[in-house]
Structures are given as structure tokens and as C-alpha cells.
Amino acid sequence: MPGEARIGEYMPKSLMIYPQDVRQAGQVEFKPIPVNQYQRTLSAELDHFASEDLIRIHRDMAVIRTFETMLNDVKTKGNFHGVEYNHRGPAHLSIGQEASAVGQAFLLGIEDHIFGSHRSHGEILAKGLSAIEKLSDQALMKIMEGFFGGATLRVVEKGATGSVKELAVDYLLYGTLAEIFGREAGFNKGMGGSMHAFFTPFGVYPNNAIVGGSSDISVGAALYKKINKQPGIVICNIGDASAGCGPTWEALCFATMDQFKTLWDESHRGGLPLIMNFVNNFYGMGGQPVGETMGFGILARLGAGLTPDQMHAERVDGYNPLAVIDAISRKRDLIAAGDGPVLLDTVTYRFSGHSPSDAMSYRDKKEVEAWQQQDSLITYGASLLEAGLVSQDDLDGTHSHIDELIFKAYKKAIDLDISPRADLYAIGSLLEQTMYSNGSVDKFETTGAAPELAQPIAENARVKQIAKLARFGLDDAGKSLPATRAVSIKDAIFESVLHRFTVDPSLVAYGEENRDWGGAFGVYRGLTEALPYHRLFNSPISEAAIAGTAVGYGLEGGRALVELMYCDFLGRAGDEIFNQLSKWQSMSGGVLKMPVVMRVSVGSKYGAQHSQDWTALTAHIPGLKVVFPATPYDAKGLLNAALQGTDPVIYFESQRLYNQVEVFHEGGVPAGYYEIEIGKPDIKRPGKDLTILTIGATLYRALEAAEVLEAKYGISAEVIDARSIVPFDYSLVVESVKKTGKILLASDACERGSILQTFASKISQFAFNYLDAPPVVLGARNWITPADEVEDSFFPFQSEFLDTIHEHIVRLPGYEINRRTDTPELMRRSEKGI
């Protein structure tokens, strides 16, 4: 294999690609993929399992069956055992799939984390019951007392007389059900609901209503465990139909990167501790992957193309809990030996439709009946009988006991007095508190680790080079220095990142070309020497996985700094940013933190697909913080704040400004640490006649326009740099408008739907009585970014500022319009959609 001899030098440069190697004739060999190889009977396993464990497997399957049958009754009949309840939310049931969930959970400890899908009630209960079995009474009480200050425990302990383990089972059933019914005592305070419920103290991590949504998040969780040497494995439970999702492929590619086994240092070398488990029930909603919507035939085949070891892919009979236990046991050993990740195709079947409203028009009754005849709950119970471990009375007794437990949990969960909903109408409500965690945390704890640096900071070439630069960007004559002589935005970002690496041992940074290249724009140049491979690495060209893994890394308890190069690529990571990064803090009821900073840049010169300012997209999504600094002082201070925080921050940069030096802040960019509070705009040029509020690089064009306004028209413009977009404190801008009575808002984003339209409408509302003219938004044209040579036709430059001010805000005596921007012209464009 090319480069093999040089493994250990930890540099891609050492991975030599020689023509004599790669042009050689040959063929690719595949190995057989095991399919349902486990064939032992329960009786044959009596030597390997304690009989209580074998019996408990049946109990756990029966708990899930009864729990979901109850939900099915509620959805279809409006009651359970005659007690009525109208559950308006969803319930995607897994009736029939119980053996796969219980078999999987059997060997797992609470340090093993599972992620799931919209259909994960069974996995929550199976993993929870397994955890209850393994934890001591003391540990269980500590968890139940500690979680939400014991609020959920208070409900179940009332009237409880049994053992701690029995109490814990009640707790699990009630906490899950209260969550499904949207009650504040639920495991996520009712903010997750049926499709998203989870309980981290038992190792049950977020379940995801986006098909395939857990795939890259799980990879990030496994990455966190690997980098920070945390115990346990991660299992991603996703459906067979999610094999067609782009992010699932990106997750698989990210998870199987060679570098884990080649370039990472010895103590971190080895594959990710991850099992990508496809819960294969042969259906999407109405589409059938095998025979219709996919072409793999046997899902396990997918592993074959991903790595030479074929991801140790295997099809497992998920209708037999013992077969699943066997598979998890063997795969866990492989992972412990550094041979992960693993792909499993766990065959199962659900008798329930996609949801209780599913008319099942797409499948034949005969097929369902054939699976029901082999119902794993019944056949497994029969094998217990056959082995003489239980009597029929025992089995019947178990069923009626479980039924009682679930009825008890049901009655408590539907009662609004016992289980109220969170009050979201009050000021300071749960969602006000949990949309952001607003923490300030120097470092996240990892197992006793100090920050890992590859060299003393003082020896770093980039650090030495920056030390020679002026911290302020103007010379004595007030002339701007070039970036070769003063600290630029690039340097400011580098300093902030390097500082955090010296403070936070959990920090990881990655993205495309992040390591040797130093990031596509050289911002990280020097970091390669400063950091070991596992703290700074190149990812595949998998934007969804870059974002999704950062989500998993963050919610596991580490801080991640990822980069998407151009913000135009946000679409490739749409779900991960819009539905995952932004939402898990609040959907968890405040259980999770999301200390993830995502750097994206706004380009120019590269045409339509590399030059867009998409701040509006990210600002529109509740749960993200969004900043866009335009000066080195602000860039460092805001990145410091973002990297000290516990919330997801989308950090916009302008490629036009990477070499911009500090021309505003007296004393320049401090060499030491400081923060700039996210959400506060800043006056960059004081004035009294007109306010100009800018986002990003338009700041400098606004300043040029302000010079002309002053010199030619005697108009004193106050230029305010928004710096932050979400959150945003309007006070400074409103104060300015009270003084000037006029405001122009400018950015490089296309004008239609720009976040500045929101700013403008809010300012109209907040400062209505002080305005002499309506706030006016100046953006880029509502068309594609053309080639660099003609980009003046697109972005707002100095003359567009003056045109717009003259036409819509205040007449400039003698001014001659450069390009038409009058109201009829704007209306004409709008009519045309341009």
C-alpha cells in the first residue's frame, strides 16, 4: 500500500502515491459478509447466560410490547384500559422489533451511548432496563435524585413500596411516557416528545425525527470518546431507509477515514468506537428499500465498499435477542482492539405501520401474518418454557405485572395535576431559559487531560511571526499598514483559536484542508505544528458530517470548532445546522449543551456559488447565535467569547477582510485574552445626521461613503457595525436613530429576505416617532454573483450608498445618480423577481 512504510511520521506528505503502485494491474477482492450466522438455541446457551438474565430478556421485550400497545390503543381508540386520553402528538411504534432493541442493550453499560430515530421508544426502554439492572441501588438513587432536582422521581416515588430497582423501572416508564405526552416531569421536560425523547444518565442519547439524522451525530459522539479517551462505545440506530440519506453516507465516510489508523499518534490510533446499526425492518414509510427504492439487496453489503475490512459488516437476526447479543459482544471486542467502526444490518419487522394512522396500503396482510407467526416475543417465551426456565404461569404473571406497571405510569402521566406541562407563557419560561445555555466555561473536563500541544507555544513559527507585527494598523501619519506589518483578522482568529487550545483540553478543530494547508485561506497556518493530529485534522469533503459530528462532539461534552470554508456550502449541511446544531439544547429541556463554533466565510471573486452572504439563513433559525466581525479587534474578541460560551455560534468571516488590520480600536488588538459580548453593535464612526448600520465587509464602504457625505454635503454619518446578528441589542442603534432620524442598513447579502429587512422593520417599530424617513436596506442585487470583473454590478459599493441615500433618505444637493434605485425601478425589479 502506498505510504505504508512511512506511517508514523504523522503527515499526509509521508503518504506517497507512486504511479508504479497505483497503475498496476490487479483486482479488488471482497470477503464474504456473514448473514444470520448465529444459529444456537437458547438451551445451548444455558452455560453462557445466567437463567435470570435469559428470563429478564423476555421481561424487557414484554415491557416494550405493552408500552407500545398502550400507545397504540391511545392513538387508535383514545383510551388505555378504558381510561381516556387524547394524545395529539406522534407515536411511531416498533411493535415486533423488541428483540433487536433488547438484544442490543443487554451487554451495554451506561458509558455506552445509543442514538436513535423517530422510532426509538423500544431502545430507550431496553437500554434503560439494562442500565437499571447493572447499576447499584445507590447509583440509581443518585441519578434519580439528581435529574432535574428529583422532579421526575417525586412523581413516581409517591406510593412506591418496592425495591430501588422497581422504583427505577417505574421512573423509566413514567419519565419516558411523560416526555411522549409533553409533560414537564418528562425526561426532556416535554420539549422533545415521542420522536426525540432520551435520558443520558442511562446512556440513551438523542433520538432524531430526521431520517438518518443520528448518523453523523453518532460519529461525532464516537469521535469525542476516541479523542478524549472516554470509555464505552457509541451505537447509532437508524432505519434501513436512511441508507439512502446523504448525511448517512457522509457519516460513514467520516467514520472510516484512514487517518484514525494511520496518521494519528500511537496513543490515539485505531478506528472509531462506533457501531452503525441499521434497524432493518424492510420499510421506509411506504417505500421498500429492497426491491424498490434501493439496490443493495442485502443492506450489510454497504460496508464492503467503505473500507478494506468492509466495516466488519454483518447481517444479524434481530428477531432473536441472543443473536443480537452475540453480535454486539463480538463487535465490541473488535472495537476494543481499535478495529472499529462496524456496520450491522439487524433484520427485524414491525407489525405496526409507520404510525397508527398508516392504512398499510403498501403491504400484504399475509406478509405481516408470516412475521407475526414467528413473533419474537412469543417464540422467545416458548424457548424459555422449553428450556424449563419458566412455567406458563410465570410468563402470564410477568405480562400482567408489566401491564399494571404501565397502567400506573399512564394514569400519572395523563393527569395534568400530577404531570403539568411547562408554562411557556411566562416571562423567563423554560424555553427562554433553554434556547441558549449562555454559559461561560473555560474548559470542558476530559479524563484528567491537560491541553495537548505538540510544541511549546513560544516556539511556534506563526506565533513568532505575529510577535513582530504592530498590534494597531495605522502608522503615525494615520496611514493603514499592510497585513505584513500589522495584525490582521487572519492573525486575530489564529490567536484566539490557539489560546483556546492552551486552555481547553476538550477542544478539537477540523474541516476541509484545515491541517497542513492551514485552512483554505491560511488562517490556521502554524496550527499544524502546534497541535497533534487528533486535535486538528482534515475531514472528508462532507459538510453535513463536519457539522453533524460537531453536534455529536458538543453534546457529548466537548468543544468543537469546525469550518465550512465558504458559507455557500451551508446548504450541504442544512439539516445539521438548521435542525440539529440549533435545536438540541432546547429539545433536551436544557439537559444538553452545544459548545460548537462553526466558522464560515463569505467570498467574492469566485462567482455565483462562492460569494454569498447567507447570514439571513442562519439568523432565521432559532437556537443559533450568529456573529460577523469586520475588524481584527472584534474578530478576536467575538471568537474568544464564542469559544468560551456553551452555545452554537455561526461565525461569519469575509474573505475580503482577512488581511484587514485594526484601524479603530485604540491600542490595537490586545495580545492577551479579552472577550467582546455577543449581541452588541459598535459605533465605528460617530456622527449626528444619518445612521448607517452595516454587517460584515460593507463597513469599509460605508466609511468611504461617510467621508464623501461629510466632505461634499456636510452630512455627518454615524457608522455602526452590527458585529452580531443573533442575539442583537437594538439600544445603541435606536439611540443613534433618535439623534439622526435616518438610517441606512447595508450588507453584501442579497436584499430580498436579508436579515437587514428584519433589522429595518424592528427599527421602524422601536424608533417610529423619531424617524424622518423609513429605514432603507441596501444589499446586493437579487441575482447571482457574477464574475469578479463585473461584480460591481452586484455588491453595494460606495456609489450605491450615495444613490440610495439620495433617492430614499435625504436629497444630496447637486448629486447625480450613478445607477437607478428609485421606487418605480425597485418596484419593477420586484415584479420581475430580480
Ligand X SMILES: Cc1ncc(C[n+]2csc(CCOP(=O)(O)OP(=O)(O)O)c2C)c(N)n1
Name the site residues for ligand X (rule: CB under 6 A).
Answer: 117-119, 209-211, 239-242, 281, 283-285, 354
Nearer to ligand X, 104 or 281 (CB): 281
CB of 239 to ligand X, least distance (A): 2
Burial 233-267 (b: 16+ CB within 10 A, else e): bbbbbbbbbbbbbebbbbbbbbbbbebbbbbbeee
With beta carbons less than 8 A apart as the criterion, state whether 597 and 649 touch. Answer: yes
With the CA atoms of 443, 449, 450 and 455 taken in that order, what torsion angle do they form, in degrees rounded to the nearest 10?
Answer: -120
Q: With left for phi above 0 and alpha for psi between -120 and 50, is residue 443 left, alpha or beta?
A: beta
**Number of separate helices (H) and strands (E) present in the chain:** 27, 20
Among ligand X, Mg ion, none, what does residue 242 contact (CB within 5–8 Å per kind)? ligand X
**Looking at residue 520, what DSSP letter applies?**
T
CB of 91 to ligand X, least distance (A): 12
Stretch of residues binding Mg ion (CB under 5 A), selected from 35-43, 200-208, 240-248, 528-536: 240-248
Among Mg ion, ligand X, none, what does residue 211 contact (CB within 5–8 Å per kind)? ligand X
- Residue 239 is a binding residue for Mg ion (CB under 5 A): yes
Among ligand X, Mg ion, none, what does residue 648 contact (CB within 5–8 Å per kind)? none
End-to-end CA distance of the chain: 54
CB of 235 to ligand X, least distance (A): 15
CB of 241 to ligand X, least distance (A): 3
Largest CA distance in the chain: 102
- Residue 212 is a binding residue for Mg ion (CB under 5 A): no
Active-site residue, from 610, 665, 806, 808: 610
Q: Read off the amino acid at residue 565.
A: M
Sign of torsion over alpha carbons 391, 396, 399, 403:
negative
With beta carbons less than 8 A apart as the criterion, state whether 368 and 132 touch. Answer: no
CB of 300 to ligand X, least distance (A): 15
Residues 278-337 contacting Mg ion, CB under 5 A: 281, 283
Q: Which residue has the cell 447509583?
A: 139
CB of 118 to ligand X, least distance (A): 5
Distances (CA, A) of 637 to 526, 657, 709: 20, 16, 31
CA angle (658, 663, 666) in 5-degree steps: 130
With beta carbons less than 8 A apart as the criterion, state whether 33 and 315 touch. Answer: yes
Nearer to ligand X, 288 or 438 (CB): 288
Nearer to Mg ion, 293 or 798 (CB): 293
Q: Read off the amino acid at residue 402.
A: I
Q: Which residue has the cell 463554533?
A: 597
- Residue 496 is a binding residue for Mg ion (CB under 5 A): no
C-alpha cell belonging to residue 705? 461613503
With beta carbons less than 8 A apart as the criterion, state whether 313 and 345 touch. Answer: yes
Among Mg ion, ligand X, none, what does residue 534 contact (CB within 5–8 Å per kind)? none
Burial of 795 (0-12, 13-18, 19+ CB in 10 A): buried
Q: Helices 213-227 and 543-556 sit at what angle, rounded to 10 degrees? A: 60
Which position among 68, 216, 240, 803 is part of the footprint of Mg ion (CB under 5 A)? 240
CB of 285 to Mg ion, least distance (A): 9
Among ligand X, Mg ion, none, what does residue 495 contact (CB within 5–8 Å per kind)? none
C-alpha cell belonging to residue 345? 444490518
Nearer to ligand X, 576 or 803 (CB): 576
CA pair distance 411, 513, nearest whole angstrom: 56
Nearer to ligand X, 312 or 350 (CB): 350
CA pair distance 683, 664, nearest whole angstrom: 10
Q: Is 354 a catalytic residue?
A: no
Q: Which of 178, 212, 209, 213 is nearest to 195 (CA)?
A: 209
Q: Which of 508, 678, 509, 648 is nearest to 579 (CA)?
A: 648
CB of 423 to ligand X, least distance (A): 29
CA pair distance 522, 620, nearest whole angstrom: 30
Nearer to ligand X, 27 or 361 (CB): 361
* Helix, strand or coil, per DSSP, at residue 30: coil
CB of 552 to ligand X, least distance (A): 17
Among Mg ion, ligand X, none, what does residue 226 contact (CB within 5–8 Å per kind)? none
Q: Which helix (H) or strand (E) holds 467?
A: helix 461-467
Which residues, 6+ apart, have CB-to-CB distance to 17 below 8 Å?
2, 3
Residue nearest to Mg ion (CB): 239
Nearer to Mg ion, 102 or 241 (CB): 241
CB of 208 to ligand X, least distance (A): 9
Among ligand X, Mg ion, none, what does residue 320 contact (CB within 5–8 Å per kind)? none
CA angle (785, 799, 706) in 5-degree steps: 120
Among ligand X, Mg ion, none, what does residue 209 contact (CB within 5–8 Å per kind)? ligand X
C-alpha cell belonging to residue 386? 422449553
Residues 247-286 contacting Mg ion, CB under 5 A: 281, 283
Could you give the count of Cα atoms lying within 13 Å of 305 in the half-sphere of its Cβ? 7
Stretch of residues binding Mg ion (CB under 5 A), selected from 231-239, 507-515, 531-539, 665-673: 231-239
Among ligand X, Mg ion, none, what does residue 1 contact (CB within 5–8 Å per kind)? none
Among ligand X, Mg ion, none, what does residue 285 contact (CB within 5–8 Å per kind)? ligand X
Stretch of residues binding Mg ion (CB under 5 A), selected from 237-245, 578-586, 618-626, 755-763: 237-245
Residue nearest to ligand X (CB): 239
CA pair distance 829, 806, nearest whole angstrom: 19
CB of 544 to ligand X, least distance (A): 11
CB of 371 to Mg ion, least distance (A): 14
Q: Which residue has the cell 442562519?
A: 618
Among ligand X, Mg ion, none, what does residue 119 contact (CB within 5–8 Å per kind)? ligand X
Among Mg ion, ligand X, none, what does residue 718 contact (CB within 5–8 Å per kind)? none
Stretch of residues binding Mg ion (CB under 5 A), selected from 102-110, 234-242, 643-651, 732-740: 234-242
Nearer to ligand X, 281 or 383 (CB): 281
Nearer to Mg ion, 350 or 701 (CB): 350
Instruction: Provide φ and ψ at 36, rounded to 5°.
Output: 45, 50
C-alpha cell belonging to residue 647? 452555545
Among ligand X, Mg ion, none, what does residue 805 contact (CB within 5–8 Å per kind)? none
Nearer to ligand X, 241 or 493 (CB): 241
Nearer to ligand X, 66 or 281 (CB): 281
Residues 531-560 contacting Mg ion, CB under 5 A: none
CA pair distance 768, 212, nearest whole angstrom: 47
CB of 350 to Mg ion, least distance (A): 8
With beta carbons less than 8 A apart as the criterion, state whether 574 and 628 touch. Answer: no
Nearer to Mg ion, 240 or 751 (CB): 240
Nearer to Mg ion, 350 or 534 (CB): 350
Reported residue count of the chain is: 834
CA pair distance 697, 628, nearest whole angstrom: 9
Task: Write out the residues near Mg ion by the rule CB under 5 A.
Answer: 239-241, 281, 283
- Residues serving a catalytic function are 610
